[in-house]
Amino acid sequence: MKFYLPPQIPRLAIAFGIFISLFLVLRHFLVPDTFGEYGHYRAASMIDNAKPELHYAGQDACFKCHQDIQDKKSQDVHVDIHCESCHGPGEKHVISSKVGDIFRPSGSREVCGKCHALYVGKVKSTIAQVDLAKHNIGKNCIECHNPHQPWEMKK
């Protein structure tokens, strides 16, 4: 009995072999050297993330230009919260004075909720907590509250 192999099978085997070879060559050049040292991770990523470059300016640098905010904040419940806690690292903004060089929180439920959402583990007397599932659904916090004077309701 003679075994008959259809002609497309050898062609498929050759194409498959070329594909696998190409994959292995590309993988060799694209996978970082430290990949797999600590499981399914790139070991060098720990070094990369150990020293992120964050350039904080400090609250005093903010108040040099924003005296009005300092005056409001000094009488506010957020008096001990530094500007960069909400606005992010501000060194670039201090140097350039461009509005685009500082994070401007939207005043959305997600942004304010990072601190003010109702969590069992938070001390209620330290941080005012709001049940976002029930409080003014469909509205952003900034529609009613000024983040620099949150207890003063907007009209």
Alpha carbon 13 to chain centroid, angstroms = 47
Pairwise CA distance, residues 76 & 90, whole Å: 21
Average pLDDT over residues 13-32: 96
| Structure confidence at residue 9 (pLDDT) | 92
Q: Express each pLDDT in 23-71 by its tens digit.
A: 999 999 999 988 988 888 888 888 878 877 778 888 899 999 999 888 8
Q: For residues 88-94, give the mean pLDDT.
A: 89
* Domain(s) of CATH 1.10.287: residues in the chain: 55-104
Task: Assign domain 55-104 to a CATH class.
Answer: mainly alpha
CB atoms within 10 A of CB 28: 8
Local confidence band at 151 (pLDDT 50, 70, 90 cut-offs)? low
**Separation between Cα atoms, residue 123 and residue 68, nearest integer Å:** 31
80, amino acid identity = D
pLDDT at 16 over 60: yes
Give me the residue label for tokens 């009613």. Answer: 144
**Residue with more model confidence, 105 or 151:** 105
Distance in angstroms (rounded) separating the CA atoms of residues 94 and 101:
8
Whether the pLDDT of residue 132 is over 80: the answer is yes
pLDDT of residue 17: 97
